[in-house]
Amino acid sequence: MDTRVRIFDTTLRDGEQSPGASMNVEEKIIVARQLAKLGVDVIEAGFAFSSPGDFEAVKRIAHEVEGPVVCSLARAKADDIDAAWEALKGASRPRIHTFISTSDIHLRHQFKLTRQEARKRAVEMVARARGYVEDVEFSPMDASRSEPEYLYEVVEAVIEAGAATVNIPDTVGYALPETFGQLIAGIRKNVRGIDRAVISVHCHNDLGLAVANSLAAVMNGARQVECTVNGIGERAGNTSLEEIVMILKTRKDVLGLETGINTREIYPASRLVSGITGLSVQANKAIVGDNAFAHESGIHQDGLLKDKSTYEIMTPESVGIQRSKLVLGKHSGRHAFKTRLGELGYDIGGERLDRAFERFKALADKKKEVFDEDIEALVQDEVLRDEMPERFRLVSLSFSGGTGAQPCAEVELEVDGAIVKETGTGDGPVDAVYRTIARITCTRSTLLKYSVNAITGGTDAQGEVSVRLREDDHIVLGQGAHTDIIVASARAYVNALNRLEYKRKEKRESVI
């Protein structure tokens, strides 16, 4: 049996049926060009009869996008078939995809047709489409809820009428993988002439089983999968293109199947479709989610740094993502932290690394994610600490205040190795802290500048405070960072006071 599985992309037709995902003609052409770069076998460009916009999109994609077969959907009605042909006419690789339901639920309540009437219409419309194009696909809608013997009968009849592809839809996402696989196996076994057609599947994700059902179908002989980028589509969506493709690629050792997809174009396609439709991709979405190649656990990070195959069954590069992402957080270990420091240009070890890692873990307990800017801020503190010994060290800080209450601060400093604690008030919490620190340190300096900047975004961001102090002919800059802006302010002030001490020491030594 053929080992090639064709990828039929219906992002521009079924995917666009996601609420709020409507695309204009130009946007559809942009996506279609990316789908061609991706290497899909078929692009279902739209439903030509449904609107002038869809007609125009099908027509332009069929004539402007090279590579894939370009398909238009059409109900099993003469006007739909004719409109599809008008849109596709003159294209190099056109396909008409027509459908009618075969489930008794649909025939009785929606179509008001008998089984015999539905079968007759299916055959007539396939024959009509076949009069226009050689490549005709037929779908018995709601096949997974159809009576198997009747389904076999219809599929056999449309193949005889000229259908080159028969698509078996799980229209409402009702099937289970085992039973859906058995349905495909039953079609292969019981439909005469099935070897003259490609069996396709189109699964919906109402029970979260679209990919699993498509895989079960492929394992039982289906050789075309209808899917969408990011799995978008009506209701809960469709089979996810990126998932089914990467399953076939990653587990080729077991399945022995392949596609013609250029997998490095998967992530660019995902980002493009997300940006145009406005449908964001969930962070933990397989293959293309922000967390798909992100690792926070210290154990995982350590293994990944030693050999990527320990925790990645595919490489991020294989789907178009630049590299794995080590998310530094409270679960991260020393190995990942040191590796990130090296990537940022810091080569530190020993006690400095120990102190920096301890501060990193304390920060990570307060923040969901620690960003590079956070790491740089705390490492710079440690580097400066070694280069410029501290006379003053902030031990603890508490403050109170509020509407109608005078701000009060309690500051504990280590001064020349001794612990000193003082309480003071001020016009605001920062002023109260600064006045108290000034009293403890007996500084004669003047505060020239005080500024605050958020290092990263979000309400849990670190704040970075910069202060400029002047004492006599010395002007120094002090910096401090913390998720609590008052603590960051205190750190910046103490950092500046230590710099003043260092300046004074330098001056005394130069005089000697």
Percent of the chain surpassing pLDDT 90: 59
Q: For the segment 232-261, what is each residue's pLDDT rounded down to a tens digit?
A: 999 999 999 999 999 999 999 999 999 999
In terms of pLDDT, which residue wins out, 486 or 357?
Answer: 486
Residue 268: the pLDDT is 87
User: With 60 as the cut, is the pLDDT of residue 298 above it?
Assistant: no
**Pairing between strand 136-141 and 165-170?**
parallel
Residues pairing with 394 in the sheet: 413
In terms of pLDDT, which residue wins out, 389 or 98?
Answer: 98
User: With 70 as the cut, is the pLDDT of residue 345 above it?
Assistant: no
**DSSP states along 275-307:** HHH--PPPTT-TTTSTTTTEE--HHHHHHHHH-
Residue 277: the pLDDT is 84
- What whole-number distance in Å separates Cα of residue 343 and Cα of residue 348? 12
pTM, to two decimals: 0.68
**Is 228:242 a contact under the CB 8 Å cutoff?**
no
Residue 344: the pLDDT is 61
Residue 219: the pLDDT is 98
**Pairing between strand 463-471 and 446-454?**
antiparallel
**Is 469:479 a contact under the CB 8 Å cutoff?**
no
Q: For the segment 57-116, what is each residue's pLDDT rounded down to a tens digit?
A: 999 999 999 999 999 999 999 999 999 999 999 999 999 999 999 999 999 998 899 999
- What whole-number distance in Å separates Cα of residue 139 and Cα of residue 166? 6
Q: For the segment 9-43, what is each residue's pLDDT rounded down to a tens digit?
A: 999 998 887 776 778 899 899 999 999 999 999 99
For 52-61, 196-205, 314-323, 378-387, which range has the lowest pLDDT when averaged over its residues?
378-387
User: With 80 as the cut, is the pLDDT of residue 367 above it?
Assistant: no
User: With 90 as the cut, is the pLDDT of residue 423 above it?
Assistant: yes
Instruction: Provide the pLDDT confidence category of residue 304 given band limits of 50, 70 and 90.
Output: very low
Residues pairing with 73 in the sheet: 97
Q: How many Cα atoms sit within 13 Å of 511 on the Cβ side?
A: 6
**DSSP states along 52-86:** HHHHHHHHHHHHH--SSEEEEEEESSHHHHHHHHH
Residue 365: the pLDDT is 73
Residue 385: the pLDDT is 55
Residues pairing with 470 in the sheet: 446, 475
At what angle are helices 485-511 and 429-441 packed, to 10 degrees? 30
Q: For the segment 163-194, what is each residue's pLDDT rounded down to a tens digit?
A: 999 999 999 999 999 999 999 999 999 999 99
Domains of the chain are 6-277 (3.20.20.70), 294-384 (no CATH), 388-511 (3.30.160.270)
Q: For the segment 308-331, what is each residue's pLDDT rounded down to a tens digit?
A: 566 566 777 878 866 555 556 666
**Three-state secondary structure call for residue 298:** helix
**Is 409:429 a contact under the CB 8 Å cutoff?**
yes
Residue from 159, 153, 227, 139 nearest 186 by CA? 153
C-alpha dihedral sign at 55, 56, 57, 59: positive
User: With 70 as the cut, is the pLDDT of residue 346 above it?
Assistant: no
Q: What is the mean pLDDT of residues 492-503?
A: 85
